[in-house]
Amino acid sequence: MRLPEEPDLPPQIYIVPMIDVIFALLTFFIMSTLFLTRSQGLPVNLPSAATAEAQKSTQATVTIDQGGKLALNRKPIQLNSLENQVQGIKGKNRQILVIIDADRRVSHGQVITVMDRLRSIPGVRLAIGTQPP
């Protein structure tokens, strides 16, 4: 006795599981790119400027908070050791861009003091951090 043969079914591609995998990968890549932004400054209220330009090669960020405390790349620092720390970050590079993120309530004199210390280092370019209006 012979068993009746089952008819050959054409191959099928189930698209629903494939769509689930694609959306899972898409979600992973979107979430991972959100963490790629690099923030080196501390949260301060930056002054706004309509003519501000974005800088491409940020190497170091000096932050002066509302109380006048200094931080270099988010690490607290004293004014006396600022030059040595920036020299260490600069290393053998010919130039380094240092962005000064000063709170809008910090006195002008303190910002000038920090700028003066940084300008004494050869190869340092300075920029002032602002936010769009």
Residue 88 within a domain: yes
Structural domain range at position 114? 60-128
pLDDT given for residue 46 in this prediction: 65
pLDDT given for residue 27 in this prediction: 94
Are the C-beta atoms of 63 and 22 separated by less than 8 Å? no
Mean pLDDT of 103-119: 88
pLDDT band at 24 (very low <50, low <70, confident <90, very high): very high
Residue 73 within a domain: yes
pLDDT over 70 (residue 15): yes
Mean pLDDT of 74-80: 89
Looking up residue 98, the CATH number of its domain turns out to be 3.30.420.270
Q: Using a pLDDT cut of 90, give the percent of the chain over it.
A: 8
Count up the domains in the chain and report the number. Answer: 1
Mean pLDDT of 32-59: 67
Residue 42 within a domain: no
Burial tier of 11 (Cβ tally within 10 Å: 0-12, 13-18, 19+)? exposed
- CA–CA separation, 62 and 65 (whole Å): 10
